[in-house]
Structure 1
Amino acid sequence: MTEDLVAAKQALRAEIRDRRRNMSAHERDADTAAITEHLKHLVAARGVKKLSCYLATPTEPETRPFLTWAYENNIEVLLPVTRDDGLLDWAIANDTPDENIGLFGLPEPTGELLGPIAINGVDLIIVPASAVDKKGVRMGWGRGYFDKTLGSMGKRPPVYAIVFDGEYVDSLPREVHDQPVTGVVTPSALITF
């Protein structure tokens, strides 16, 4: 990993954070509705009964309407809980709006922790991203939690990242540990690579 690559990724993340902070509420609501519909279609098309997703931060594409739909349709959802050792733990999503604030100020579920290997039983993994390129390279936020999780799975189900339209780009800088995704969900499209 070169210093130039690290600097390029940091600059791109900063630009994306800034753009996300400047989105209007109307844009965000319209994008949430479109992403939710794409996610419903993805789950239905793949016959998913159990998946992992995440609780979006205020600037990320919103996942809560999709999580509500999944709960109402008896789809079991595992949500990540960050740990000090760099691994993700998992808890089952429920119909309560209660959330904890985890490491780094991220929203996390309440409920019993299932351990890092609980994700091995899901049919689909939905991950956050700062950007995704047309080859399936996903750039996260630099902490490596999802890359470690995905890289440790022997048999990995399909993995889709959620980003806003302008964050699906031609190419991204890639490091050795960066785990590719199967597809991307944006407000405009559901794309499988």
Structure 2
Amino acid sequence: MSDEIADAKRALRAELRERRQQLSERARDAAAAGVRAQLDALVAQFGARSVSCFLSTPTEPGTHEFVEAAVERGIRVLLPITRTDGLLDWAVATGGADIAEGLFGIPEPTGDVLGPIALDDVDLLIIPAAAVARDGMRLGWGRGYFDKTLGSMEHCPPVYAVVFDSEILDDVPRDLHDQPVTGVVTPTQTRTFAPAAR
């Protein structure tokens, strides 16, 4: 990655992180409710019986309500567990499961650990992002876990990134290893990009 691209990514992430930290609790609660409604509709649209999702941090658009409701409806939800080698393990979400702080302070499940290939059986991937460009390019938080995961999948199902409405941007800095997404989910909308995006 060139220094110029790395610097541009770093600056944009810092700006987005600061904006997220300034949101009120009321705005966060409203965003979580909106994200849940959008994700519920997306799961129904795809007829998904197995999905991957992530447990949001306090500054991310909330996903905990969606995960709990999906598990109650009998949908198999895989949650990521970070590894020191840059790959992701997975655990099946269960109602009322214990949550621990994983690497980088990210909430992670404490259940039975499944390896990276567990993801091969899901119908839909729901992933975090710092921002998404209007052409489907995703800007992550810089650790490369999801770019590596998506880039290694032989048969990748639809991938939707979850961001706030203001984080759909005209463009984001990108490098060769960065992976596009099928669509984006915000508290107020779900947008699917042209098939060429993925």
Shorter-chain TM range is: over 0.9
What are the equivalent positions in structure 2 for 1:103-122 lying under 5 Å apart? 103-122=103-122
* 4+ runs deviating over 6 angstroms: none
| Aligned residue in 1 for 2:159 | 159
Q: Which runs of 5+ in 2 are unaligned?
A: 194-198
**SS of alignment partner, residue 108 of structure 2:** strand
Distance 1:59 1:30 in 2: 13
| Aligned residue in 2 for 1:132 | 132
Task: Establish whether residue 39 from structure 1 lines up as the match of residue 46 from structure 2.
Answer: no
TM-score by length of 1: 0.98
Per-residue CA deviations over 1:143-166 (Å, capped at 9, x if unaligned) read 000000000000000000000011
Per-residue CA deviations over 1:14-46 (Å, capped at 9, x if unaligned) read 001100000011111111111110000000011
The answer as to whether partners of 2:97 and 2:110 remain within 8 angstroms in 1 is: no
**SS of alignment partner, residue 86 of structure 1:** coil
| Aligned residue in 1 for 2:63 | 63
**Deviation at residue 97 of structure 1 after TM alignment:** 4.5
**Deviation at residue 60 of structure 1 after TM alignment:** 0.6
Cα RMSD between the aligned structures? 0.7
**Deviation at residue 141 of structure 1 after TM alignment:** 0.3
**Deviation at residue 174 of structure 1 after TM alignment:** 0.9
| Aligned residue in 2 for 1:187 | 187
Identity of aligned residues (%): 58
The answer as to whether partners of 2:79 and 2:90 remain within 8 angstroms in 1 is: yes
The answer as to whether partners of 2:81 and 2:108 remain within 8 angstroms in 1 is: yes
| Aligned residue in 2 for 1:10 | 10
Distance 2:57 2:129 in 1: 12
TM-score by length of 2: 0.96
